[in-house]
Amino acid sequence: MSTNTSLSFSSHELRDLLLAWVALGLAFAIFFAGGGTRAVANITEGGLLGPLLVSLLTAGIGFLLHELAHKVVAVRFGQQAEFRADYGMLFLAVMSSLAGFIFAAPGAVYHRGRITEREHGLIALAGPVTNLLLAAVFLPLLFLGAFGGSEFVGLVGSRGVTINLFLAAFNMLPFGSLDGKTVFSWSKVVFLVVFVPSVLVTLGLFVFGGLF
């Protein structure tokens, strides 16, 4: 295994990260505004800046830090790793939001080099764990908004918590190319420790709090 653990970003990668962040922010802003003509009416009446800022700070940050966590851990294990945006999927994210639903797969971190099964599992695990940590970071903002604080701060907190919990639970599903399949193959114990709480809390938000 290579011992090169320096973290660097090419100009192509930085451009892809920026484009993915902006496209996701726009897509989620439209989605949260109701999608379609309803979104256009809501944004026209209230402006785009506020919804876009909320989405950039919540969905955009959640998606991109998830991917960057994969890169950081991969590089730590001596991998060559770089994020590449999927322009077609970013376009689909914006178009689906206009239709009233959201389908977002902004791209992925691709890494190469020799690694063990454990290292591969930890690289996959880094993304969902980052989302769980981000949910904890947003939680105080949710409470600040709920107890007389700024409505904007409360909205950022609420969406930051729910989006990041959903991302953690979804990406830990043990299917296809999702992180959960790699983690499950490496360690079923680690998989259950992360997957079960993520799913239970997310389902609780659906049932008792209403997601988003």
Q: Does pLDDT of 2 surpass 50?
A: no
Domain ranges (residues) in the chain: 1-115, 118-212
In the annotation, is 151 catalytic? no
Report the percent of the chain where pLDDT is more than 90.
Answer: 62
Task: Name the pLDDT band for 192 (thresholds 50, 70, 90).
Answer: very high
pTM over the 0.75 mark: yes
Mean pLDDT of the residues in the chain = 88
pLDDT digits (tens, 9 = 90+) for 28-73: 988 888 776 676 676 666 667 788 899 999 999 999 999 999 999 9
Selected catalytic residue, list 45, 67, 82, 151: 67
Q: What is the pLDDT of residue 36?
A: 67
Task: Name the pLDDT band for 196 (thresholds 50, 70, 90).
Answer: very high
Q: Does pLDDT of 127 surpass 90?
A: yes
pLDDT digits (tens, 9 = 90+) for 142-177: 888 777 778 889 999 999 999 999 899 999 999 988
> What would the DSSP string read from start to end of the chain?
----------HHHHHHHHHHHHHHHHHHHHHHTTSHHHHHHHHHHH-SHHHHHHHIIIIIHHHHHHHHHHHHHHHHTT-EEEEEE-HHHHHHHHHHHHTT------EEEEEES---HHHHHHHHHHHHHHHHHHHHHHHHHHHHHHTTS-HHHHHHHHHHHHHHHHHHHHHTSSSTTSHHHHHHHH-HHHHHHHHHHHHHHHHHIIIII---
